[in-house]
């Protein structure tokens, strides 16, 4: 979504931070150099997890979708990506409910909700990666 | 950064980290390195199994695994580990707070469960505890063969055939759960008519517990032979545990008492805590008395010739080793030659609780076990060592014919719980008499329900009033006798002359009680009801 990147990224939305740097720094032991390492790992691996998630959702494979979203959630939480972690958690739970669905008519989240969460996750991941790049640049200068 | 293995060599303990997510994995590596641990990190359960096989699991002090990974999960890895090494303690980490997952982790053998993202502080605490657990397990494994040997010696000591030398009959039922434990029985024939029986239970199940148990038995035997009283012996051993033993125990770091200060007795794993629950019974056959000394042991029971249990006291004092001085609970009771004394360790009580039944139905079933050398399957799930001692008060009584199956005391407020009480009776009877016909069981439950309701409604007008239910099995005639006694004045009518329809409508319960059992007896105007049911098929005779 390049048009969104043209706008300044809003770090706080509905009270949730896209990137909570102090939390991320703490999880890196309070050492900025270690935070940079974790952020680079995230930038390197998260897009692949996102692609796997999109494929799983497209294939309506709830098990794989839940696992990929769960993985993204853990990675985002480790670097302080609160908003992405929250959306990934929502998608994980929705996919798990879908997985445990017994009756086709059972009330609960359906694939439409998962599709919406996936789109939201996609945008939030782009934002988070951009914020991380800016943070790394700041830390290195 | 290598995805498969990353090493951060900077510490004392070696930790294996398993997480498929690279950021979370690296985060753990950083945190553990800061805690001064040497870390090996891998991305899958399969890689972890490879390393544990190649390098040996003993090369690591702790395993930390993510739960949800593609392919083999963290729980699968724990199961694999349990088959290969029971000593390496592990921590499961997950973003999920699902209680089932946490339960599964602990069932799978995890020592701890942490939520992602893990803070450095909670990781540090969990690591310390888990590494200690690994080291303790390895210490125990190293002494495992010695513990087994100690356990064998204990079993032999508890089954010595010296009962034949005693002027009374003695039956010991001992089912150890651990390789070595602290349960012991010692008996002394002081003269032709006086017998001393001492039953003891040392806390813990380590080699140390076995040693303390053996030492106590040695001290006991020596001092009894010198004519020292049981009170003096127990006080002497109490001083030993509260002072000398502690001072000589290098591990003693916290909490143990010296001068009336209590300690934390709930954690069996605490290396510094050693206590001893003891009950001694000095039986004087000529005087017809039993002098009991209790120090933290479950309350012993006298069972009379009719099979009725009578608890000997209401408090059992505190275990030896808790306080100095330690007040002992003393009680002297009169006893008939047809009576017998029943003592059991708290292992029997814990097992009964686990089975959802009462102590008496479990004791009854244990007495029925014929083959003593092989533990029946149903007795293999005990959470602790089970020891029960039955002492007949005359030498001739080789066979127990009447034994309690249940004893319960209810108050008026329990009327609303009658369905739950009935379910308790059903569980106990089904456990004690698994072959009992359903229709007969139903009759017994129905009559018991009506009898207890009658006792609670009419016989317990005051909050302090009580209704007692006792079930006794008489193996000589295969009868189950049920006694329901309340503290009320009994009814105001004559049941023999009240046979009309109105009487039946008002006292349906009483009519049932008069119709279903094989025999019924009422005393104290109905405040004491005794019902007898013939059981079929016949349970086995109990041999003492």
Distance CA B89, CA B127 (A): 10
Weakest-pLDDT range from A4-18, B346-360, B513-527: A4-18
Per-residue model confidence (pLDDT) at position A10: 57
Collapsing DSSP states into helix, strand and coil, what is residue B42? Answer: strand
Instruction: Using CB atoms, pick whichever of A27, A44, A46 lies closest to residue B27.
Output: A27
Q: Which residues pair with B483 in a beta bridge?
A: B470, B530
| Better-scored residue on pLDDT, B150 or B300 | B300
Distance CA B443, CA B516 (A): 6
Instruction: Using CB atoms, pick whichever of A29, A45, A71 lies closest to residue B31.
Output: A29
Structure tokens at B196: 């001393």
Would you say residue B27 has pLDDT above 60? yes
Instruction: Using CB atoms, pick whichever of A26, A70, A79 lies closest to residue B23.
Output: A79
Closest CA to B403 of B360, B440, B371: B360
Closest CA to B75 of B105, B39, B120, B116: B105
Residues B10/B29, Cβ–Cβ less than 8 Å: no
- Give B344's contacts (C-beta < 8 A, 6+ positions apart): B298, B359, B363, B386, B387, B388, B389
DSSP assignment of A77-89 equals HHTT-HHHHHHHH
**B18, B23, B96, best to mutate vs chain A, most A CBs in 10 Å:** B23
Complex ipTM, two decimals? 0.83
Would you say residue B45 has pLDDT above 80? yes
Read off the pLDDT of residues A43-84 as tens digits, 9 standing for 90 and up.
999 999 999 999 999 988 888 898 899 889 999 999 999 999
Contacts of A26 in chain B (CB under 8 A): 119-120
Would you say residue A42 has pLDDT above 70? yes
Please name the helix (run of DSSP H) or strand (run of DSSP E) that holds residue A124, with its range, or none: helix A111-140
The position carrying tokens 């929705």 is A94
Per-residue model confidence (pLDDT) at position B491: 66
Q: Where are the domains of chain A?
A: 17-140
Per-residue model confidence (pLDDT) at position B290: 92
The CA-to-CA distance between both ends of chain B, in Å, stands at 73
Rg (CA), chain A: 16
| Better-scored residue on pLDDT, B178 or B48 | B48
| Better-scored residue on pLDDT, B487 or A25 | A25
**A50, A64, A71, A99, best to mutate vs chain B, most B CBs in 10 Å:** A71
Closest CA to A70 of B107, B81, B98: B98
Distance CA B35, CA B17 (A): 14
Structure tokens at B66: 């993510």
Would you say residue B433 has pLDDT above 90? yes
Q: Does A26 touch chain B (CB under 8 A)?
A: yes
Closest CA to B242 of B319, B329, B328: B319
Per-residue model confidence (pLDDT) at position B2: 43
CB pairs under 8 A between A and B: 60
Distance CA B296, CA A133 (A): 67
Read off the pLDDT of residues B6-19 as tens digits, 9 standing for 90 and up.
443 344 799 999 99
- Give B500's contacts (C-beta < 8 A, 6+ positions apart): none
Q: What is the mean pLDDT of residues B185-194?
A: 86
Per-residue model confidence (pLDDT) at position B504: 58
* Interchain pair A29, B120: CB under 8 A: yes
| Better-scored residue on pLDDT, B104 or B538 | B104
Q: What is the mean pLDDT of residues B61-85?
A: 88
Please name the helix (run of DSSP H) or strand (run of DSSP E) that holds residue B528, with its range, or none: strand B528-534
* Interchain pair B21, A67: CB under 8 A: no
Would you say residue A6 has pLDDT above 70? no
Instruction: Using CB atoms, pick whichever of A28, A71, A89 lies closest to residue B21.
Output: A71
Would you say residue B473 has pLDDT above 70? yes
∠ CA B121-B124-B130, nearest 5°, is 140
Q: What is the mean pLDDT of residues B500-523?
A: 73
Contacts of A75 in chain B (CB under 8 A): 21-24
Please name the helix (run of DSSP H) or strand (run of DSSP E) that holds residue B113, with its range, or none: strand B112-115
Per-residue model confidence (pLDDT) at position B507: 64
Would you say residue B209 has pLDDT above 80? no
Per-residue model confidence (pLDDT) at position B403: 94
Q: Residue B502 — pLDDT band, cuts 50, 70, 90?
A: low
Q: Residue B245 — pLDDT band, cuts 50, 70, 90?
A: low
Backbone angles phi, psi at A47, to 5 degrees: -60, -35
Per-residue model confidence (pLDDT) at position B348: 93
Percent pLDDT > 90 in chain B is 35
Please name the helix (run of DSSP H) or strand (run of DSSP E) that holds residue B102, with its range, or none: helix B99-107
Q: Which class is domain A17-140?
A: mainly alpha
Read off the pLDDT of residues A97-138 as tens digits, 9 standing for 90 and up.
877 665 555 555 578 888 999 999 999 999 999 999 999 998
Residues B358/B428, Cβ–Cβ less than 8 Å: yes
Per-residue model confidence (pLDDT) at position B250: 47
Average pLDDT value over all residues in chain A: 83
Would you say residue B540 has pLDDT above 60? no
Residue in chain A closest to B35 (alpha carbons) equals: A29
| Better-scored residue on pLDDT, B158 or B185 | B185
Per-residue model confidence (pLDDT) at position B8: 37
Instruction: Using CB atoms, pick whichever of B23, B34, B70 lies closest to residue A78.
Output: B23
Weakest-pLDDT range from A117-121, B114-118, B124-128: B114-118
Q: What is the mean pLDDT of residues B495-523?
A: 70
Structural domains of chain B ordered from first start: 6-142 (3.40.50.2300), 165-263+271-398 (3.60.40.10), 403-534 (3.30.565.10)
Structure tokens at B109: 């053998």
Weakest-pLDDT range from B199-203, B270-274, B374-378: B270-274
DSSP assignment of B297-357 equals PPPPEEE-TTS-EEES-S-----BTSSSS-PPEEEEEE--TT-EEEEE-HHHHHHHHHHTS
Closest CA to B470 of B529, B525, B390: B529
**Residue B268: other Cβ atoms inside 10 A:** 12
Q: What is the mean pLDDT of residues B247-265?
A: 42
* Interchain pair A77, B21: CB under 8 A: no
Strand ranges of the sheet holding B301-303, from the earlier edge strand across to the other edge: B170-175, B386-392, B340-344, B301-303, B309-311
**Residue B457: other Cβ atoms inside 10 A:** 15
Residue in chain A closest to B34 (alpha carbons) equals: A29
Collapsing DSSP states into helix, strand and coil, what is residue B472? Answer: strand
Residue in chain B closest to A77 (alpha carbons) equals: B117
Per-residue model confidence (pLDDT) at position A93: 87
State the DSSP code for B126.
Answer: H
Q: Residue B384 — pLDDT band, cuts 50, 70, 90?
A: confident
∠ CA B513-B514-B519, nearest 5°, is 100
pTM: 0.56
Following CA atoms B304, B310, B311, B313 in sequence, which dihedral angle do they give, to the nearest 10 degrees? -100
Residues B72/B46, Cβ–Cβ less than 8 Å: yes
Per-residue model confidence (pLDDT) at position B358: 95
Average pLDDT value over all residues in chain B: 81
Would you say residue B71 has pLDDT above 60? yes
Distance CA B131, CA B14 (A): 9
Structure tokens at B352: 């009964």
Q: Does A84 touch chain B (CB under 8 A)?
A: no
DSSP assignment of B81-102 equals HHHH-SS--EEEEES---HHHH
Q: What is the mean pLDDT of residues B488-493?
A: 67
According to the 3-state scheme, what is the secondary structure of B482-523?
A: EEEEECCCCCCCCCCCCCCHHHHHHCHHHHHHHHCCCEEEEE
Distance CA B444, CA B249 (A): 56
Rg (CA), chain B: 29
Residues B219/B235, Cβ–Cβ less than 8 Å: no
Read off the pLDDT of residues A8-20 as tens digits, 9 standing for 90 and up.
455 666 667 889 9
């Amino acid at each position: 979504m390049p048009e969104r990147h043209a706008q300044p990224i809003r770090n706080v939305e509905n009270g949730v931070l896209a990137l909570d740097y102090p939390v991320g720094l703490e999880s890196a032991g309070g050492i900025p150099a270690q935070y940079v390492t974790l952020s680079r790992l995230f930038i390197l691996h998260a897009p692949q997890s996102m692609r796997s998630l999109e494929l799983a959702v497209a294939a309506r494979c709830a098990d794989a979708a839940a696992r990929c979203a769960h993985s993204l959630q853990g990675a985002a939480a480790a670097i302080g990506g609160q908003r992405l972690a929250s959306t990934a958690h929502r998608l994980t739970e929705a996919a798990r409910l879908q997985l445990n669905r017994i009756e086709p008519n059972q009330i609960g989240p359906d694939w439409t909700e998962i599709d919406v969460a996936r789109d939201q996750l996609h945008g939030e991941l782009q934002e988070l990666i951009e914020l991380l790049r800016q943070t790394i640049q700041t830390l290195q200068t | 950064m290598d995805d498969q293995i990353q090493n951060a060599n900077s510490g004392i303990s070696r930790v294996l980290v398993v997480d498929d997510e690279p950021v979370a994995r690296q985060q753990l590596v950083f945190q553990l390195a800061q805690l001064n641990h040497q870390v090996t990190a891998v991305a899958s359960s399969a890689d972890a199994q490879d390393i544990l096989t190649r390098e040996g699991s003993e090369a690591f002090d702790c395993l930390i695994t993510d739960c949800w990974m593609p392919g083999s999960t963290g729980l699968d890895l724990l199961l694999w580990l349990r088959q290969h090494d029971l000593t390496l303690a592990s921590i499961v980490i997950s973003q999920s707070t699902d209680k089932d997952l946490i339960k599964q982790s602990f069932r799978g053998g995890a020592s701890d469960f942490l939520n992602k993202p893990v803070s450095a502080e909670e990781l540090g605490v969990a690591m310390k505890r888990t590494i200690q657990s690994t080291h303790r397990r390895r210490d125990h494994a190293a002494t495992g063969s010695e513990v087994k040997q100690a356990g064998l010696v204990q079993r032999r000591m508890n089954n010595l055939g010296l009962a034949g030398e005693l002027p009374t009959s003695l039956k010991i039922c001992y089912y150890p759960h651990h390789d070595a434990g602290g349960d012991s029985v010692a008996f002394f024939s002081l003269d032709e008519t006086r017998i001393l029986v001492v039953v003891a239970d040392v806390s813990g199940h380590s080699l140390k517990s076995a040693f303390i148990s053996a030492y106590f038995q040695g001290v006991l035997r020596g001092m009894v032979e010198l004519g020292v009283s049981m009170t003096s012996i127990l006080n002497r051993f109490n001083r030993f545990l509260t002072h000398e033993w502690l001072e000589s125990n290098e591990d003693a770091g916290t909490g143990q008492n010296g001068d009336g200060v209590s300690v934390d007795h709930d954690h069996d794993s605490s290396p510094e805590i050693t206590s001893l629950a003891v009950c001694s019974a000095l039986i004087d056959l000529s005087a017809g008395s039993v002098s009991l000394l209790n120090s933290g042991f479950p309350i012993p029971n006298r069972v009379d010739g009719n099979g009725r249990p009578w608890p000997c006291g209401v408090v059992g004092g505190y275990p030896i080793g808790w306080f100095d001085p330690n007040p002992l609970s003393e009680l002297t009771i009169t006893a008939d030659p047809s009576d017998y004394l029943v003592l059991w360790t708290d292992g029997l009580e814990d097992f009964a609780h686990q089975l959802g039944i009462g102590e008496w139905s479990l004791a009854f079933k244990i007495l029925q076990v014929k083959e003593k050398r092989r533990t029946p399957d149903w007795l293999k799930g005990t959470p602790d060592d089970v020891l029960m001692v039955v002492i007949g008060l005359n030498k001739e009584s080789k066979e127990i014919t009447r034994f309690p199956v249940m004893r319960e005391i209810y108050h008026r407020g329990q009327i609303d719980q009658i369905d739950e009480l009935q379910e308790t009776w059903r569980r106990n009877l089904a456990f004690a008499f698994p072959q009992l016909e359903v229709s007969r069981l139903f009759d017994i439950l129905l009559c018991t329900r009506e009898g207890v309701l009658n006792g609670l409604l009419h016989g317990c007008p005051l909050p302090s009033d009580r209704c007692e239910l006792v079930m006794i099995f008489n193996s000589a005639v295969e009868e189950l006798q049920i006694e329901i006694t309340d503290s009320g004045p009994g009814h105001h009518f004559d049941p023999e002359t009240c046979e009309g329809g109105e009487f039946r409508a008002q006292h349906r319960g009483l009519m049932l009680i008069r119709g279903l059992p094989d025999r019924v007896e009422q005393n104290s105007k109905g405040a004491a009801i005794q019902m007898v049911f013939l059981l079929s098929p016949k349970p086995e005779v109990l041999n003492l």
